[in-house]
Each structure stands twice: as C-alpha cells, then as structure tokens.
Amino acid sequence: MTTKPQGEPVRDELEFRRKSTYITDRITADGFGDWPVEAGRYRLVVARACPWANRAIIVRRLLGLESAISLAACAPTHDSRSWTFGSHAGDVDPVLGYERLQQAYLARFPDYDQGITVPALVDVPSAAVVTNDFAQLTLDFSTQWTGLHRAGAPDLYPEPLRDEMDAVMQRIFNDVNNGVYRCGFAQSQQAYERAYARLFGALDWLSERLATNRYLMGGSITESDVRLFVTLVRFDAVYHGHFKCNRHKLTELPVLWAYCRDLFQTPGFGDTVDFLEAKQHFYLVHAHINPSGVVPNGPDLSNWLTPHGREALGGRPFGDGTAPGPAPAGEAVPPGHGVV
C-alpha cells in the first residue's frame, strides 16, 4: 500500500501554520500493507537538534528498540535540499549509502516536492523512506512494536488513558510544541501576540496540572511527557531568545522547571539532549531571524542536575517497568554537547 503525503494549505501569510504534509504509511505488527514490523529492517533517521526527532530517540530508547531499529544521526544544519548525514561534503550514512536524507525520499517518490523532515523511518532493503509522520511514528513504537520491546519497557500509551492523553497531547502540540514556532515565525505583531498568549496560557495550564501530579497522566511517564519535555528542555537555550518566547524563562517557572529537571535526570531523557547541536540548528538555519549567524554560548547548563524535589509527589517513573540502560555505543551525545 502506497500512501502519498497528505496535508493542508497554509491559510494565513502572517501567522505561522505548520504544513501537516507527511507520508502516512505505518509499520504494523499484523503487516497490513507493505510494512510489517521486522527487526533490523528499518533505520530511524534523526537530527539530535530537532525536537520532533528527539522525541523519537527518547521513545525508542525507553522501549529498548535500539537493537531492532538502527539509528542514523544527521548533522545539525541543513540547506534547501535537506539534512545531510555528515558535517563534511561527501560524508555518507554507512547503512543507506546516502549523503542526504532527500535521497531516501526520492527513492520512494521520484517527484517528491514536500519537506524533507526528520524523524523518518527508512526501509533498509530498498533505501526508501517509509514514513515521516512523527506523531504516529512514536505511538506505533509503543503499540505495534511490543514484541520487540525490552524486558521492563514502560507502557507509554496506556489504553485506559488514551482519550485524555490524546486531548492533552493535542493542546501541547498546538500551543507549546508548535506554539514556540508560531511566536518565532510570526510575520506581524498581532500574529506574534496571539501565539505568545496561547503559548504562555498553555504553560500556565500545564503548571497547574503538574503542581500536584508528578507526570502529566499521573504517577508514571507516558508519551505525553516525552512530547512536552523536548520543547521545555530547549526553552531557555533557544526559544526564549531566538523565538521571542520571553515572558519567563523555564528556570523562572517553578513547577515546570522542577518537572523538566525530574525528566532530564531520568535515564533516556537528558542523556539524549544535545544542547550544542540544538543551538547550532536554530541559530544558523533560521538566517532570516538571526542573520549574523552568531550562536550564543549560554545558558549555563549545570543547574539541570540540581535537586528537583518531585519525588515528594510519589509515583514511579516507569510504572511497573524499569529504567533503560545506557545509550548503545556510538549513540551517546558527544562530550561537551550536553550537560556532562
């Protein structure tokens, strides 16, 4: 079954609207369609700089899918053609043999003219992209790849909570994950102010929700926490200044700052975050916002490891499961790119 990209047009030139144009094929346990779950068949292409890709890295790690789905990390910057697999001309991915992620898209759709996005799952035998539908991709890791989960993998998408989770994640996407981009890419004062109000209104709502709950859905981590974390962890380093999301820094929002430090210090979260590449990506790629190309040195990252006190709210991070082990060889954040 071949599913071409689906999407909707941009409707307002002054207000940023993310084009929801993705390849919506799914890899399923029952093999419906062309893409069955199969260990070693697919390669997850990411960029550590990208929050949407970071959440795929985290979910893959928490579920222990590293041996089932290989990982290819792109360089932090890209040009109009696409992400590259190395920092130097001629660098290629050792598995796919490509210099650019664009080649995997064109191998599937020779006339592909949409965005070349990460994360993307690529079929290794054909070296062609399967899907870049980032929202469904991680949910399928939880629901379709269960036969290949590690022993002790947490349930990140508990069936009894899905209706409420979906609603929470939708607001997080609209007003926080995408909300920071709405602020940064607004083309008028009015569009910016609307986005700013939505973003900080949502952060206030999340602060209230998390004041008495350790995690968004109660006593253990779910995918909703992963989705919120990847934006919060980049907030002070990127969005506060670069995207003008400056009512408060994360460090000035007591509940969210403690919550995010709690997650950051949990195996599988903070040890996947590459602050250096995140700053390089946003400050270098968005030349219309930062024409000088200067990448800031700050902020100080040492406070990410300070006590957060969230244990007092109870709960168990992984529910009945266990923490993941260290990152596989070659997948750890490079020295000097993270907190430690």
Q: Which residue has the tokens 């979906």?
A: 166
Could you tell me if residue 184 is inside a domain? Answer: yes
3-state secondary structure of 100: strand
Helices (H), the chain: 51-63, 102-108, 134-143, 162-171, 179-184, 189-210, 223-232, 240-242, 254-264, 275-285
Pair (19, 116) in one structural domain = yes
Measured CA to CA, the distance from residue 252 to residue 220 in angstroms comes to 25
Could you tell me if residue 57 is inside a domain? Answer: yes
Pair (84, 170) in one structural domain = no
pLDDT for 20 equals 66
Pair (54, 176) in one structural domain = no
Query: Which regions of the chain are under pLDDT 50?
Result: 1-2, 4, 6-11
Domain boundary among 153, 171, 187: 153
pLDDT for 40 equals 98
**Was 83 annotated as part of a binding site?**
yes
Say how many domains are in the chain. Answer: 2
Could you tell me if residue 83 is inside a domain? Answer: yes
Task: Count CB-CB contacts under 10 A for residue 167.
Answer: 11
Domain boundary among 91, 122, 153: 153
Pair (25, 138) in one structural domain = yes
Could you tell me if residue 334 is inside a domain? Answer: no
Pair (4, 124) in one structural domain = yes
Q: Which of 42, 50, 215, 245 is catalytic?
A: 50
Pair (77, 129) in one structural domain = yes
Could you tell me if residue 327 is inside a domain? Answer: no
Pair (219, 298) in one structural domain = yes
pLDDT for 340 equals 67
Pair (287, 165) in one structural domain = yes
3-state secondary structure of 34: coil
pLDDT for 13 equals 58
Could you tell me if residue 205 is inside a domain? Answer: yes
pLDDT for 11 equals 44
pLDDT for 201 equals 98
Pair (174, 206) in one structural domain = yes
Question: In this structure, are residues 264 and 272 in contact, taking their beta carbons and an 8 Å threshold?
Answer: no
Q: Which of 22, 42, 98, 181 is catalytic?
A: 181
Pair (52, 166) in one structural domain = no
Pair (142, 178) in one structural domain = no
* 261-265-266-272 Cα dihedral, nearest 10 degrees: 100
Per the structure, the complete domain to which residue 198 belongs is given by 160-313
Domain boundary among 102, 121, 153: 153
Look up 181 and say whether it is catalytic: yes
Sequential DSSP letters for 210-222: HTS-SBTTBSS--
- CATH number for the domain spanning 194: value is 1.20.1050.10
Pair (137, 180) in one structural domain = no
